[in-house]
Structure 1
C-alpha cells in the first residue's frame, strides 16, 4: 500500500444510541420511534420606532415528548449578545440585552436566583435556565409566562436591527425554548454571533403594535387585514395574489398621503399573525419603504402523514434483523393543480435602485426551488426586505429574508443572494438542520440550489464550476478546515466560508456526477421529503444518499467531510506503441479518493470514455494504465474529468498534450 486509505465513517455514540432505540434508521429516514418536542407561543409586542424600544409578553406551552425527566428548561435570550459582559465572537453594539420583568412557571411566580436556592431562573450570557417547582416528565406540558423588554440594536450581528429607525427587521427577539433532542438532550448552546441557530418547530400567535402608518409583515398569516390596511391596499393585495406581473402596493406618494394603512386607535395599529409548524417567528416594520408584490405559481401538493403508519413500520423493523434490507417507499405527494404564493418586496428607491427587479427574482426562486426539490414552497407568502445599515449580504427566516441594498453592484449579485436566502426556506426552515454544529448542511445545500437556479436565470455559464473555484484554490493552498466542525470553532481566515458554503456545494455536484443524476436526485428529494419539519443529522444525510447509491460512500464522506484531503488526478504518461495504440497512465497525486473518468481521442477518429472505479484507488494504488488497441490508431488527446465536476485542485495536469485544455 503506497497511499492513505480513508477510514470508515463511525457513528457518534449518541447517533448509535438513537439507531438502537428506533429514533433514527440505517436507511437515513427517521426511525419508527422518532420524536421531537413541540412549543406553542402566544406573544404580544409593542415597538416604539423613535426609541427602538420593544416590550413584550409571551405565554409558552412546552410539550415534552422526550423519554426523559427534566428538572429545568433552557431558554434562548439571543439579544443578550448585546449585553455588557456576554461572551461573543466579535465586537457588537451594547444595548443592555434582554430585561426579564416577570417569569412564572405553571402559574407560579419565579424569581432570579442561583440553582442551589431551588426553583427560580438565572441568566448566563444568551441562555436562561428556568427551574420549575415540579419536574417535567414525559407527556407533560409546561406553561411559562414571561414579560420582557429591550432596546433593539441598529445592527444585530448582521442579522437583524433597524435602518435610520425607519426600517426594522425584528428577529431573535423573544424568549425561546432551546432544543432538547434525541442526540444531545439539551442541544441549546450560547449564541456568540457567528454560528447560527437550531430550533424546534412550533405554532405562533403574535400580536404586534406599531404606530399608525407603519406596515408590518411577518412569518405566518395576517389575521386582521381589514383592521390594519386601507381598502386600496387590500384591493392591491388581492390583485397581486393572482398576478404574474408587478403590483405596487405602496410607494412614496401613498405613504405620504397616508393611504396605505388604516387609521388605527389612539395612533396605534395592532397586527395579529398566526403561524403553524415553523421554527421561528420574525417581522418587519416600516413607514417609508416601497412595497412591491406579485405571486409565484407552484404545484399544490398534499403530503401524506408519514407518522400515521409508524406502528406498521415499527413492526416491520422488529421482524427484520437487517434494517438496511428494508426497502423504504419513496414518499410522494398528491398533486391537486397549482396554487399561488404571494411575493412581497420592501425597499427604498433612493437607497436600493437594483431592488426594482427584486420581486421578479423572488418569484423565480420560489418557482424554481419548488420544482427542483419536488417540494413546493409550503407557505402563503415569501417576503424580502431591503436592510441597508442592517446587513450587507442576506439572512433567512421562515417566509422572510433581509438583504443589503447592493448599491453599486450588479443585478446578478442581488439575484444571487435572493436565490440563496429563499433557498434556505427548504433547509433549514423545512428540513430543520442544526446550523451551529453542522453549518455545511444548510449553507452547502442552499449554495448548491442557488447555483442550480442561476443556471436557469443566467444561462450560458456553468455556475457550479465557477462556484467551486475558490474552494479548490483554498484546498490547493492547504488552508482548508474540516466540514464536520462546530461553526464557532473555525480559525480566522477562509476556513468557515469554504467549509460551510463553497466546498459542500461543490461536493453535491461531484456526488451527483458519481451517482448519476437520476439516483442522486431521488436521494436529494427523499432527504427533503422524509425530514420535512424534522431535525436530521449528518449521518442521516450520509445514509440517505448511500441508500439510493446502493453503495458504501464512506470514502467520499471521510475524504471530503471529515478530512481536508486534496484530490489531484493527472495524466502521467502517454507511451505510443510502434504498431499503433498506446499506454495511457493516470496518476493519483493527491490524498482524497475519487473515481476517474478519462476521455481519449485517437487519430482514427475514435472518441471513448474509460471509467476508473474508486475501488482501484481504495486498493492502495496511485496509478492506473489504460491500454489503447492498435486498431484505434495513435492517441492524439487525453482528458481527465471531461465534465469538470470532480473536486480536482490542479486541472492543468488533466490534459495531454499539456496545454490542450479547452
Structure 2
C-alpha cells in the first residue's frame, strides 16, 4: 500500500475506533428499569458464604435437569480453513433470574483479546516480567478478532458499545454492552439473534490455527453472568463480565448448546458434547451437529490431518462414556497414553468426588508447531500435551500423563463446579492441581530424573508430585494472596503459584486433619456446589464442616488464601553437656565449706573411673553423670501447629509441641543420654515451610543437608518444567 494511502486509512480507522469506543450509551425509556452495576475491578476472593438457595439451591439429583439452566445457544458456524475464518449465526436465549426488569446485557467477545496490542490481554502480556506460556509473538497477519454484524431482539435492532469494566485501555473490545429494544421482565426470557464473524489468530493462548489445524475456542458472543443477592457475596443484582485478561479464563451460566459446524469434506471434527445426528454432506461441505446440556461453554477442533480417532467406551456410574483421542500422525505414540490417562481420570474423579455426569470425553493432541493449543479445558473437551511420548517415569511421560489428568480434572473444577476464574482463579486451577497430584500420587507416578540403566545401579533421583509443587510455590516470598483475582498480580510467576501454592496449602490441611477427613470434606464440597458457582467462602465452609476442624481450615485460609503468610521455623541450635558438680561453697556437717575447682575435677575423675569399672561394656555416650540437652527453635513466620522431635543417644525420642507465638522457643531435656538430633515437622505435615533444610540439626556434623540440597535443586528444575506444562 502507498505510504500516503496507508496513513489515510490508519487515520480513518483510528477515527472510527474512537467513535465506537466512546459512543454514548443508548438508554432505555425513563423509568423502564434501574441500572444494574458491574462487578468491581478489584473483585477477588469472597469472604461471605453464599445463601443456601443460591443458583437455585443444591442439586440433589431429583431435579429434571443437572443444572438450573439460564441460557441456550443455537449456533451455525462455517469454517474457511484457508482464510481461518468462521461465519456464525446464533440465537442466544437468556432467562432473567432477578426480581427486576433488565434493559441491558453484557457479552464477552474473547477473540478481541488477540486483535492487536491495544487489548487488555496484550497490554498485560507486554508488561509481564516473567512471560506467558511459551510467549508466542503474534506477527502481522496472525492477529484474530470477533466482529458483531447484527444484534436483534424480536426483529428490532439493538445498539451496543464496548466497555472496560476493569479500567483497561479504551482500545480493549473484549466486553460489549447491548442495550435492548425491550426490557426483559423478571422471570422472563428473551432471544437475541446475532450474526458474527471470526478471524482466528495464529494459535495463541489456547485458540487459533496452525496450518490445517484449528482449535476453535473463545469464539462466539457469550453472555455475562447476572449474579443475585446471596450469590458469591452479592448484596444486590450485579453483572459479572470482566475484560479478557492475560491470566483470566472464564465464568458463565449453565445452559444448553446446539451447534452446527460446517467444514470442507475431508476434515475431522471433534467437539464439546455428542452428535445429535449423522453428518450431512452437501456441495463438498459437511455439517456436524453437536449438542450438550448443562455446560457453560463450547469449543471444537477441525483438521484434515487427524488420524482415525482412538476411542474406547468407559462404563461409569452414570452410564457409558465415549472417550476419544484426536491426534495427527507425528504424535501417534501419544494417543494410547492419553486415552489411558483419560479413562483413569474418569474413574478417579468419579470415585473421589462424584460420578462423571456426561456421555463423552474428548482429548485433542495438538500437532507439531501448535504447542500453544495444548493444555486447555472446555466442557467434555480438552487439549492434552504434544510432548513426545517417553518411557514411564521419565519427565516427558510424566508431562504427557499429568497434563491429560490436569485438563480432564478441569472438567470438574472449572466445568461442573464452575467457579469464577476471573476473580478466584485458585478455586479452579489450584484446587484442580491439588486433586490431580493426589491422583498422580495414587498412581505411584513419581518423576525419575535418571536413565533406567542408572537405576539398576541404585543411582536415581525421584520426585514425588507434591514435592514438585512445593518447590515451585515461592514459599519463601509469596507476593500475592492465593485468593486474589487473575489480573492484580506482581508477575506471571506469582500467578503461577495459584497452582503450586494452592496444591501445597491444601496438602498441608490434609496432613493436619487427616486424609479421610479431607476426602469427606471434598465430597461434601462437590455434592453441595456441583452445577452452581461456589466462592472461596463456600469452599472454606465445606472444608470446615467436612473435616470437623474449622480451627485448622480457618487458620489456613486466613494465612494463605486471604493473606500472604510465610512459614519458616528452624532449629537454630542443639547442644548437650554433662551435668557436673561445680566449685563453690557446700554445707558439710553444719559448716559452709569451700570446694575448689581442683577438688571438683579430682572428684569427677574418681567417679568416672569408678563408674567405668562397674560398667565395662558401657557405650561411649554412657557415663556417671546425666546430660542436659538444650534445643532452640526460631520462628520467622506464622505460628503454625508444629512438632519438634528430639532423638537421644540411647535410641529414645521426645516429641514436643512448638506452641510459642514469639520468635523463639527453648526446650530443655535432662536425662541419662545426650541429644543427638532435633527435627521439626518429622511427619512432614507442614508443606508450606519455605526452607526444609533448616528444619533439622544434629549435634555432630553430617552430610544429610548437602545431599538433600542436591535433591531439592533437581526437583526445583523439574517444577519449572511442570509449570510450563500446566499453565
TM-score, normalisation: structure 1: 0.76
Deviations 1:334-380 (A, max 9, x none): xxxxx43222111122256444532222222222232233x122212
Does residue 343 (structure 1) correspond to residue 342 (structure 2)? The answer is no
The answer to whether the 8 Å contact 2:138/2:202 transfers is no
Find 2:422's aligned residue among 404, 419, 436: 436
Please give the alpha-carbon distance, in whole angstroms, between the structure 1 residues aligned to 2:385 and 2:464.
26
Please give the alpha-carbon distance, in whole angstroms, between the structure 1 residues aligned to 2:161 and 2:143.
23
Q: Report deviation, 1:199.
A: 1.4
**Match runs of 1:196-595 below 5 Å:** 196-225=249-278, 227=279, 264-295=281-312, 297=314, 299-301=316-318, 339-350=319-330, 353-373=333-353, 375-388=354-367, 389-392=369-372, 393-407=374-388, 410-459=396-445, 461-471=463-473, 474-476=474-476, 478=477, 480-498=479-497, 500-547=498-545, 548-552=547-551, 553-576=553-576, 578=579, 580=626, 585=631, 587-595=633-641
Match of 1:605 in 2: 651
Match of 1:656 in 2: 697
Q: Report deviation, 1:404.
A: 4.1
Q: Report deviation, 1:603.
A: 3.3
Structure 1: which 5+ residue stretches go unaligned?
1-11, 116-121, 229-263, 302-338
Deviations 1:14-45 (A, max 9, x none): 967876x66569xx9899xxx97710111111
Deviations 1:291-336 (A, max 9, x none): 34343646415xxxxxxxxxxxxxxxxxxxxxxxxxxxxxxxxxxx
Please give the alpha-carbon distance, in whole angstroms, between the structure 2 residues aligned to 1:22 and 1:345.
39
Q: Secondary structure at the match of 2:486?
A: coil
Q: Secondary structure at the match of 2:219?
A: coil
Identify which range, 441-450 or 61-70, moves more after superposition.
61-70
Deviations 1:541-585 (A, max 9, x none): 122222233333433222222332321112244454636465554
Deviations 1:164-189 (A, max 9, x none): 12x21111111111111134511101
Please give the alpha-carbon distance, in whole angstroms, between the structure 2 residues aligned to 1:72 and 1:482.
34
Q: Secondary structure at the match of 2:120?
A: coil
Identify which range, 556-565 or 456-465, moves more after superposition.
456-465
The count of corresponding residues between Structure 1 and Structure 2 is: 553
Please give the alpha-carbon distance, in whole angstroms, between the structure 2 residues aligned to 1:30 and 1:292.
35
Please give the alpha-carbon distance, in whole angstroms, between the structure 2 residues aligned to 1:181 and 1:446.
24
Deviations 1:581-604 (A, max 9, x none): 655545242222311123333334
Match of 1:170 in 2: 216
Identify which range, 403-412 or 191-200, moves more after superposition.
403-412
The answer to whether the 8 Å contact 2:103/2:182 transfers is yes
Larger radius of gyration: 2
Please give the alpha-carbon distance, in whole angstroms, between the structure 1 residues aligned to 2:632 and 2:510.
23
Please give the alpha-carbon distance, in whole angstroms, between the structure 1 residues aligned to 2:114 and 2:342.
32
Counterparts in 2 of 1:466 and 1:158: CA distance versus 1, 3 Å: same
The answer to whether the 8 Å contact 1:47/1:210 transfers is yes
Q: Secondary structure at the match of 1:142?
A: strand
Q: Secondary structure at the match of 1:73?
A: strand
Q: Secondary structure at the match of 2:475?
A: helix
Q: Secondary structure at the match of 2:329?
A: coil
Deviations 1:25-67 (A, max 9, x none): 9xx9899xxx977101111111121221211111111011123
Deviations 1:139-188 (A, max 9, x none): 01121111111221121x421112212x2111111111111113451110
Counterparts in 2 of 1:30 and 1:294: CA distance versus 1, 3 Å: closer
Does residue 139 (structure 1) correspond to residue 156 (structure 2)? The answer is no
Identify which range, 572-581 or 145-154, moves more after superposition.
572-581
Q: Secondary structure at the match of 1:426?
A: helix
Match of 2:618 in 1: none
The answer to whether the 8 Å contact 1:64/1:138 transfers is yes
Please give the alpha-carbon distance, in whole angstroms, between the structure 1 residues aligned to 2:292 and 2:419.
20
Deviations 1:481-538 (A, max 9, x none): 322322122233521112x111001111011011111211111221122110110111
The answer to whether the 8 Å contact 2:160/2:176 transfers is no
Please give the alpha-carbon distance, in whole angstroms, between the structure 2 residues aligned to 1:101 and 1:536.
35
Identify which range, 172-181 or 450-459, moves more after superposition.
450-459
The answer to whether the 8 Å contact 1:201/1:279 transfers is yes
Counterparts in 2 of 1:504 and 1:479: CA distance versus 1, 3 Å: closer
Please give the alpha-carbon distance, in whole angstroms, between the structure 1 residues aligned to 2:483 and 2:176.
28
Q: Secondary structure at the match of 2:520?
A: helix
Match of 2:16 in 1: none
Counterparts in 2 of 1:44 and 1:172: CA distance versus 1, 3 Å: same
Structure 2: which 5+ residue stretches go unaligned?
1-42, 61-66, 126-136, 164-169, 390-394, 447-462, 580-624, 709-727
Please give the alpha-carbon distance, in whole angstroms, between the structure 1 residues aligned to 2:360 and 2:189.
31
The answer to whether the 8 Å contact 2:144/2:201 transfers is no
Q: Secondary structure at the match of 1:429?
A: helix
Q: Report deviation, 1:111.
A: 4.5
Q: Secondary structure at the match of 1:200?
A: coil
Match of 2:95 in 1: 63
